A and B are shown apart, each in its own frame.
Chain A
Amino acid sequence: MDSYDVPESTPSASSRPEDYFVGATPLQKRLESIRKHTSFIPTPPRRKVPQCSQLQEDVDPQKVAFLLHKQWTLYSLTPLYKFSYSNLKEYSRLLNAFIVAEKQKGLAVEVGEDFNIKVIFSTLLGMKGTQRDPEAFLVQILSKSQLPSENREGKVLWTGWFCCIFGDSLLETVSEDFTCLPLFLANGAESNTAIIGTWFQKTFDCYFSPLTINAFNLSWMAAMWTACKVDHYVATTEFLWSVPCSPQSLDISYAIHPEDAKALWDSIHKTPGEVTQEEVDLFMDCLYSHFHRHFKIHLSATRLVRVSTSVASAHTDGKIKILCHKYLIGVLAYLTELAVFQIE
């Protein structure tokens, strides 16, 4: 197993000191090494900071409850140019007009489509990691009720929200005019996501790209979420692997009782508050060898596509469902990191 040194504070013995400077972002380090024509000695992908951070005090659990138990499709978003939180009403109006115009063009016509929609922009208070993170905001498309007597809000057709949790490495590199909200989560019809994406790209000169989660990151998520202490388990811990074979790929599903998974993790975990690469590798290797002992199949030669725990579940195509409000910020922090990495 590889052992990684702590990044930035103690350079590993094999690297030259001038290749490192304290506090550099990975992008800066890479540029520096290219400029000096030296070979880039890699820093470890990460040595995780404490994984279960408490939700900020000023967040009302009721207000964020609608974010849980929903499947979100993930996108990474480049910084927004000249976005202002005081113009949210204006943006609602503009986006509303844009959506109606697009739909009337016949570009995204669905049978029985209701053109009486209302777009609402609102801020999501407290959805941030540090004070530096920009405020998260939410966009919702609601169907306006046809009956005049009913003045309540209609059904929510589409929800999308933008956030940035512990996005320091990105925040450092952009200027004042830009708002960094690298993580975008969408729930609802794909056609709506496309229209709204187009409007944002035109208005704020940004770029959306679908955020995929590779097997490496899925194993990290599996380990971190298994490590989280949960009062009562709502779901079994489940993994799904895809075996590449022709003509059709096979899927292998492996379900473990969540308490057993936690017991396995506790026996591996050494440093309190931190998760290391070796621990993640060992955790997955234990599962692989157990499976191999029984079925003589090397799961390590297949591709992990889905991880499901009581905290959250994630699919490689960039789909996430968060089940536990206590670790909402923790899950989002990791996703923000992946989004920032994809942007850079």
Chain B
Amino acid sequence: MMSVLRPLDKLPSLNTATILLVGTEDALLQQLADSMLKEDCASELKVHLAKSLPLPSSVNRPRIDLIVFVVNLHSKYSLQNTEESLRHVDASFFLGKVCFLATGAGRESHCSIHRHTVVKLAHTYQSPLLYCDLEAGVQWCDHGSLQTRAPGLK
């Protein structure tokens, strides 16, 4: 059975928010999750990591409040993985519960994906796009269409 992630199929838990990070790079997701959990949050924050969607149906998990798709601009594979995973997300998620995170833009020479591709992807799904770099000491060049940066990260 093709399982599609739906935003309202479970009851919300009190004072808890769950974020699902989807991406191919395990180390990156782990680092991101650790940084997020260190931040002060009004409610209890839970972060789930997944390589791709669909998620296994056997696991008991809380309701997902936000899905963050992490695309590594250095890897076409990570973009293809994201595009595949997007098919398993219910349309109502895209009313503000999905976000795209692009990493690796700072190192232009290593990019295999054009920035415009992810901008267009985010635009197609009407969801925000954030740029973020988890490598230390990366030189940022001027990208005209750079939007916001994720707080707490470089």
Please list the residues of chain A having a beta carbon within 8 angstroms of any beta carbon in chain B.
2, 14, 30, 34, 40-45, 212-216, 219, 284, 288, 298, 300-304, 316
Q: List, in ascending order, chain A residues with CB within 8 A of B74's CB.
A: 215, 303
Residue contact B109 to A219, C-beta cutoff 8 Å: no
Pick the residue among A2, A30, A298 that contacts B117 (CB under 8 A): A2
Spot the interface stretch: B32-40, B45-53, B76-84.
Answer: B76-84
Quick one: closest B residue to A212, CB to CB?
B109
Pick the residue among B77, B78, B112, B120 that contacts A219 (CB under 8 A): B112
Q: List, in ascending order, chain B residues with CB within 8 A of A43's CB.
A: 116
Complex Cα distance A44/B114, Å?
10
- Asked whether A216 and B120 contact (CB < 8 A) given A300-B80, A301-B75, A301-B78, the answer is no
Residue contact A215 to B110, C-beta cutoff 8 Å: yes
Residue contact A214 to B111, C-beta cutoff 8 Å: yes
Lowest 6 A-B CB distances belong to which pairs? A215-B112, A301-B77, A300-B77, A42-B116, A300-B76, A30-B144
- Give the Cβ gap from A178 to chain B, nearest Cβ, in Å: 21
Q: List, in ascending order, chain B residues with CB within 8 A of A30's CB.
A: 144-145
Residues of chain B from 118 to 150 with CB closer than 8 A to chain A in the complex = 119-121, 123-124, 144-145
Cβ of B113 within 8 Å of any chain A Cβ, yes or no, is yes
Pick the residue among B80, B117, B121, B123 that contacts A41 (CB under 8 A): B123
Residue contact A2 to B120, C-beta cutoff 8 Å: yes
Complex Cα distance A216/B117, Å?
11
Please list the residues of chain B having a beta carbon within 8 angstroms of any beta carbon in chain A.
24, 74-78, 80, 108-117, 119-121, 123-124, 144-145
Q: Could you list 25 A-B pairs, sorted by A, with CB under 8 Å? A: A2-B121, A14-B123, A40-B119, A40-B144, A42-B115, A42-B116, A42-B145, A43-B116, A44-B116, A214-B109, A214-B110, A215-B111, A215-B112, A216-B114, A219-B112, A288-B76, A298-B77, A300-B76, A300-B80, A301-B75, A301-B77, A302-B75, A303-B110, A303-B112, A304-B112
Count A/B pairs, Cβ under 8 Å.
57
Residue contact A216 to B113, C-beta cutoff 8 Å: yes
Name the residue in B111, B113, B116 with the highest tally of chain A Cβ atoms < 10 Å from its Cβ: B116
- Give the Cβ gap from B72 to chain A, nearest Cβ, in Å: 8
Q: List, in ascending order, chain A residues with CB within 8 A of B124's CB.
A: 14
Residue contact A214 to B144, C-beta cutoff 8 Å: no
Q: List, in ascending order, chain B residues with CB within 8 A of A284's CB.
A: 76
Complex Cα distance A44/B120, Å?
9
Residue contact A316 to B75, C-beta cutoff 8 Å: no
Q: List, in ascending order, chain A residues with CB within 8 A of B120's CB.
A: 2, 42
Name the residue in B80, B111, B112, B120 with the highest tally of chain A Cβ atoms < 10 Å from its Cβ: B112
Complex Cα distance A303/B119, Å?
21
Residue contact B123 to A300, C-beta cutoff 8 Å: no
Q: List, in ascending order, chain B residues with CB within 8 A of A303's CB.
A: 74, 110, 112
Name the residue in A288, A301, A304 with the highest tally of chain B Cβ atoms < 10 Å from its Cβ: A301
- Asked whether A45 and B110 contact (CB < 8 A) given A40-B145, A301-B77, the answer is no
Complex Cα distance A218/B108, Å?
13
Q: List, in ascending order, chain A residues with CB within 8 A of B114's CB.
A: 45, 216
Q: List, in ascending order, chain A residues with CB within 8 A of B117's CB.
A: 2
Quick one: closest A residue to B76, CB to CB?
A300
Complex Cα distance A300/B74, Å?
9
Complex Cα distance A316/B123, Å?
30
Residue contact B116 to A301, C-beta cutoff 8 Å: no
Residue contact A300 to B145, C-beta cutoff 8 Å: no
- Give the Cβ gap from B100 to chain A, nearest Cβ, in Å: 14
Pick the residue among A34, A213, A215, A298 that contacts B144 (CB under 8 A): A34
Complex Cα distance A142/B124, Å?
58
Quick one: closest B residue to A219, CB to CB?
B112
